[in-house]
Each structure stands twice: as structure tokens, then as C-alpha cells.
């Protein structure tokens, strides 16, 4: 692909305008079309204003900004895109509309021109179905806001020529994006890979283990996600993330690993769509400021004076600094343990200890700001409160949850890692591209395969197996990619 080849953009809405902007600042002449009369011209004016702001901030020189603005031409008909070497479609997610656009483009564009779709949910194979020359059709899926989000998914349908994906990857780089090559599949890469973060959070709340506020606090403070799953869903809109969850789940023939919850659906049906309606998982004022969500209170208590450590751990002892730490059960003191994948009930039965005094502490994450505690049914609330007070006296916030195999973050990170492994298994993308896409597309602190390695592949496998056994739910079925690497003691990113 030669420098400066002309790029056509069909659809001048938010996504199309963003694509036109990065194409122009990347050095390509752009022809911008929208079916609504006058809308493309209005959009071009807004693009020019954004480019001017980049120059004001020093991101672009005044000369580069002027040149970028001059590269954008508004056209009145799809036929005016005939000179374009690449056309990117960014219209509504309606297959009939897309077929009409692509069949018209096929009539007017050169035989070697690439026809790409910015679709986020419709299979490329289905879009290409209406065309005679399907080998030149591919996906070029950008993320909103396009000028800020660096990722672009280059999606090859069953008939897409390899050279087309290669050319679009080069084009993506010239647009200043990071391209990843992805196989045509429901949700492509990011919309598939992002399911676990939200749906496992929803499962935890559905089970009554924790509240949305508690889940978000743990995932931010202990795992370094920029946003928790519930505030993220409220930001994107329940009317967006619930349908996408349903589409991806159905697209994979109802694989339970992708299943959402009745609670998720009920919010959409109630019109509680998140920030846009002032109510979702949380409530918001007129300025969009969120009201803190519910957190079950702990009773006031003096810090525990003596504790029994069932696990010999320097980290556990550090959390209990100031208490008399003993190794043998005195029949009165709190019993502390740091399980991986087990709940308190299973630990109490396995060890034959008093479940009323047993407190599980999650050490499999960052505990410098927040510590997660859980207890079995029938536990003494005074014991839990005393342990929480001791941890609080040592400078950490405490999240106390109901019994759950894997606490909150072990479950959630194991599910994220497992889905990343499954994407590698079915060839959605290369392992390195999976990690890159999830970090750039969703701002994850790590990609899912890197997350599996950080947690320990064997530990992730064990967490999932224990969850599957405890619940009887194939939602927690380990990917074969993960299982084999856990058994062979190999990193998650080891090639097939």
C-alpha cells in the first residue's frame, strides 16, 4: 500500500468521524460520505475543530494540522468513493443497510479496492455474503473514541485474502493505531474477551456473595483495574452491554462460560441503563456523579488480640501485626487461613476446624490497600468484626463477603484468564495479540494470558476446577489450552 492512498469513510457519525480524523492525520486523503443530507459536512467541521485543538495542545504542528484538514473531502454519493483504494463502512449495525452499502461500493470501486466494515457485532462472512468478490472484504473494528483508543481489530472472514488483512494492518499503523489480526467469530476478540469481567461480577452479585460496590472496590484496589465491572457497565450502558452479552452467548451456542444473569436482564427491562438514565447498578445525580453503592456494615469491635494462623504466612502475620499470633487452636481465638479456590465451608470440613471461628483472607492479590475476608454460614459475626478491626488498625480497608470458592478476585481473574486461553485454543488470535488487544481495548492491567501466568497457570486451573466441582456448573469448565499448560507446567502463552 503506497503512502497517501485515498480512504473512503461511509457514515459520518461518532465512529466514522473518528476514523476519518485518524486517516487524515495519518497522511491519507479522505472522502467522507453520509446518507443524511448535510451531515457529512457538519461532521467535517467538527473534525477540523478537533484537529485544531490537537495543534493548540502541541500534539500536531500548525502545518500538520492544516494539511490534515485539507485532506478531508465531503462527497454526496457512494459513487464518489470510486477513486478510493480502501473504504471503511461505519453505518448502523443493520445487515440490510450494510448489504446495500457494500453492493453499491462493489459496483463503483476498483476490483482491487478493499471494502472494510467497522462492525462490532455482525460477522464479516455475513456482510461479504452479498458480494461477488468476497476476498476483498474484511473487518476494521475501531474503538470509541477512535482518536484516543489505540487498538484496531483486523478481522478476516472465511473468504478474506491474506493480503487484504496485511494491507489493512499497515493502514492501521499509518492511522496511529495498533492492529491485531482476528478471526471472524461472535464478538471478534475484545467483545468476546471482555465478557468474563462483567458476567462473573454479575454472577457473584446474583449469588448474594457481595454487592456491586464491593466487587468494584476489590477489582480496583486489589487487582488494579481502572474501573470495576459494575461502574464500567453503567458507563457503557446496560442497553449496550446486555445485548452484546446475549449475542456473544448465543453465537457460541449458549456456552455457559459466556452466560450473563437474570439480574443483568432485569436492569435493562426496568430501563435502569446506567449513567444515561441516572440509575443502573448505581445511582447518579444530574451531573453524573455517582452515589456510593451499598456495603454491608460490620459491627464495631476491638481489634483481635490473639489469632490462630492455620497457614504459615508472613503476609498473613503482617496483616495481624499487633495481635498475639499462635500456631495451635486455643478453642477461642479466630482461625485464619488464606485458601486458593476453596470456600470457608470446604476448608472447615477438610481441616476439621470450628467453622464459627474460621475467617478466610484473600492473599492472592495486592493487599496493600484492601483485604477481602469471607466466612462460612453460621460464623460468629464478632470474630469476623475483630479480625476486620485488626486489619483496619494496620491501615487496610476491609471487604467482608459471604462464602464463595475463590473469593471475588480469584474467581474473576481466573475466568478472564480462562476465556483468554479459550480464545487462543480456538484461534481467535495469537496469544500475544490477545493480551495486547485486551489491554488496549479494555484498559486491563494485564492481558488474560499474562494474568494466568501472574496468578500461576496451575493455580488458575485449580480455582476453576474447584468452582466447577462446588457449583456443578460448566461455566467454570477449564479451557483445554489452560489444562494442558497447567499439567505440563508451561506458561499460558506457550504456542500450540
- Express each pLDDT in 139-161 by its tens digit: 999 999 999 999 999 999 999 99
- Torsion 144-145-150-156 (CA) sign: positive
φ, ψ for residue 87 (rounded to 5)?
-125, 130
Q: How confident is the model over 92-110, as a mean pLDDT?
A: 97
Note the pLDDT of residue 3. Answer: 59
Q: What is the mean pLDDT of the chain?
A: 97
List, in sequence order, every beta strand (DSSP E) within 109-254: 114-117, 137-142, 151-156, 178-183
Note the pLDDT of residue 327. Answer: 83
Rounded to whole angstroms, the Cα distance separating 272 from 267 reads: 5
Rounded to whole angstroms, the Cα distance separating 123 from 248 reads: 11
The closest alpha carbon to 145, from 14, 288, 10, belongs to: 14
List, in sequence order, every beta strand (DSSP E) within 220-347: 283-284, 290-291, 306-309, 324-326, 335-337
What CATH superfamily is the domain 306-401?
Answer: NAD(P)-binding Rossmann-like Domain (3.40.50.720)
φ, ψ for residue 456 (rounded to 5)?
100, 115
Rounded to whole angstroms, the Cα distance separating 54 from 59 reads: 5
Measure Cα distances from 233 to 32, 197, 202, 215, 281 in Å: 32, 10, 10, 13, 8
403 near 345, Cβ under 8 Å? yes
What does the pLDDT look like over 46-74, one tens digit per residue?
Answer: 999 999 999 999 999 999 999 999 999 99
**Is 245 annotated as catalytic?**
no
- The full set of domain ranges for the chain reads 7-184, 192-291, 306-401, 409-488
Choose the catalytic residue: 191, 333, 418, 479.
Answer: 191
**Is 469 annotated as catalytic?**
no
Choose the catalytic residue: 141, 264, 281, 355.
Answer: 141
Measure Cα distances from 137 to 67, 126, 150, 303, 364 in Å: 30, 11, 22, 65, 45
Note the pLDDT of residue 1. Answer: 46
% of the chain with per-residue pLDDT over 90:
98
Q: Is 329 helix (H, G, I), strand (E, B) or coil?
A: coil
Rounded to whole angstroms, the Cα distance separating 127 from 137 reads: 8
What does the pLDDT look like over 379-389, one tens digit per residue?
Answer: 999 999 999 99
Pick the CATH number of 192-291 from 3.90.1280.10, 3.30.360.10, 1.10.1040.50, 3.40.50.1000: 1.10.1040.50
Same topology between domain 7-184 and domain 306-401: yes
What does the pLDDT look like over 421-462, one tens digit per residue?
Answer: 999 999 999 999 999 999 999 999 999 999 999 999 999 999
What does the pLDDT look like over 214-232, one tens digit per residue?
Answer: 999 999 999 999 999 999 9
The closest alpha carbon to 437, from 233, 201, 188, belongs to: 188
Rounded to whole angstroms, the Cα distance separating 496 from 36 reads: 49
Residue 496 confidence class, pLDDT cut points 50, 70, 90: confident
**Is 141 annotated as catalytic?**
yes
Provide the whole-model pTM. Answer: 0.95
**Is 153 annotated as catalytic?**
yes
Q: DSSP characters for 354-389? A: -GGGEEEE--SS--SSEEEEE--TT--HHHHHHHHH
Rounded to whole angstroms, the Cα distance separating 202 from 197 reads: 9
95 near 119, Cβ under 8 Å? no
Note the pLDDT of residue 4. Answer: 77
Choose the catalytic residue: 153, 200, 342, 422.
Answer: 153
CATH of domain 409-488: 1.10.1040.50
84 near 109, Cβ under 8 Å? yes
Q: What is the chain's length?
A: 496
Pick the CATH number of 7-184 from 3.40.50.720, 3.40.50.300, 2.80.10.50, 3.40.309.10: 3.40.50.720
Q: Residues 306, 308, 310, CA angle at the centre, nearest 5°?
A: 160
Choose the catalytic residue: 43, 120, 245, 404.
Answer: 120
Amino acid at each position: 500500500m503506497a503512502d497517501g492512498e485515498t480512504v473512503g469513510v461511509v457514515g459520518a457519525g461518532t465512529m466514522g468521524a473518528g476514523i476519518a480524523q485518524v486517516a487524515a492525520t495519518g497522511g491519507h486523503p479522505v472522502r467522507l460520505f453520509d446518507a443524511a443530507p448535510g451531515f457529512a459536512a457538519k461532521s467535517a467541521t467538527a473534525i477540523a475543530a478537533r484537529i485544531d485543538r490537537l495543534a493548540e495542545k502541541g500534539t500536531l504542528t500548525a502545518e500538520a494540522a492544516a494539511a490534515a484538514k485539507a485532506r478531508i473531502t465531503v462527497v454526496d454519493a457512494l459513487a464518489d468513493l470510486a477513486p478510493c483504494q480502501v473504504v471503511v463502512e461505519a453505518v448502523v449495525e443493520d445487515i440490510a443497510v450494510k448489504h446495500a452499502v457494500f453492493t453499491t461500493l462493489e459496483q463503483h470501486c476498483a476490483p482491487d479496492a478493499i471494502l472494510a466494515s467497522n462492525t462490532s457485532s455482525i460477522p464479516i462472512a455475513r456482510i461479504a455474503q452479498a458480494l461477488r468478490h468476497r476476498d476483498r472484504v474484511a473487518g476494521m473494528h475501531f474503538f470509541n473514541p477512535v482518536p484516543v483508543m489505540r487498538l484496531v481489530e483486523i478481522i478476516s472472514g472465511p473468504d478474506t485474502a491474506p493480503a487484504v488483512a496485511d494491507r489493512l494492518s499497515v493502514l492501521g499503523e499509518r492511522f496511529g493505531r495498533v492492529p491485531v489480526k482476528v478471526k471472524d467469530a461472535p464478538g471478534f476478540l475484545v467483545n468476546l474477551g471482555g465478557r468474563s469481567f462483567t458476567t462473573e461480577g454479575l454472577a457473584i452479585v446474583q449469588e448474594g456473595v457481595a454487592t456491586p460496590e464491593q466487587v468494584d472496590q476489590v477489582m480496583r484496589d486489589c487487582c488494579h483495574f481502572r474501573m470495576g465491572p459494575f461502574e464500567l457497565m453503567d458507563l457503557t450502558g446496560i442497553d449496550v452491554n446486555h445485548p452484546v452479552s446475549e449475542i456473544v452467548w448465543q453465537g457460541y451456542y449458549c456456552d455457559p462460560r459466556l452466560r450473563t444473569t437474570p439480574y443483568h436482564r432485569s436492569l435493562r427491562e426496568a430501563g435502569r441503563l446506567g449513567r444515561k438514565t441516572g440509575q443502573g447498578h448505581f445511582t447518579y445525580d444530574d451531573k453524573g456523579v455517582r452515589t456510593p453503592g451499598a456495603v454491608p456494615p460490620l459491627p464495631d469491635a476491638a481489634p483481635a488480640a490473639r489469632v490462630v494462623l492455620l497457614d504459615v504466612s508472613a503476609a498473613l502475620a503482617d496483616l495481624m501485626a499487633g495481635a498475639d499470633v499462635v500456631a495451635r487452636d486455643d478453642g477461642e481465638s479466630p482461625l485464619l487461613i488464606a485458601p486458593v479456590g476453596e470456600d470457608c465451608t470446604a476448608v472447615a470440613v477438610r481441616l476439621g476446624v470450628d467453622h464459627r471461628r474460621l475467617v478466610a483472607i484473600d492473599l492472592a492479590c495486592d493487599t496493600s490497600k484492601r483485604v477481602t475476608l469471607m466466612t462460612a454460614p453460621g460464623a460468629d459475626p464478632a470474630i469476623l468484626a475483630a479480625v476486620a478491626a485488626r486489619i483496619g488498625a494496620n491501615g487496610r480497608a476491609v471487604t467482608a463477603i459471604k462464602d464463595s470458592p475463590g473469593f471475588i478476585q480469584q474467581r474473576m481473574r481466573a475466568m478472564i484468564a480462562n476465556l483468554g486461553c479459550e480464545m487462543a485454543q480456538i484461534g481467535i488470535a495469537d496469544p500475544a495479540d490477545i493480551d495486547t488487544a485486551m489491554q488496549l481495548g479494555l484498559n486491563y492491567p494485564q492481558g488474560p494470558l499474562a494474568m494466568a501466568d501472574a496468578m500461576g497457570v496451575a493455580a488458575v486451573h485449580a480455582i476453576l476446577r474447584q468452582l466447577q466441582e462446588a457449583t456443578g456448573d460448566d461455566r467454570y469448565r477449564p479451557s483445554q489450552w489452560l489444562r494442558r499448560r497447567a499439567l505440563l507446567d508451561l506458561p499460558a502463552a506457550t504456542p500450540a
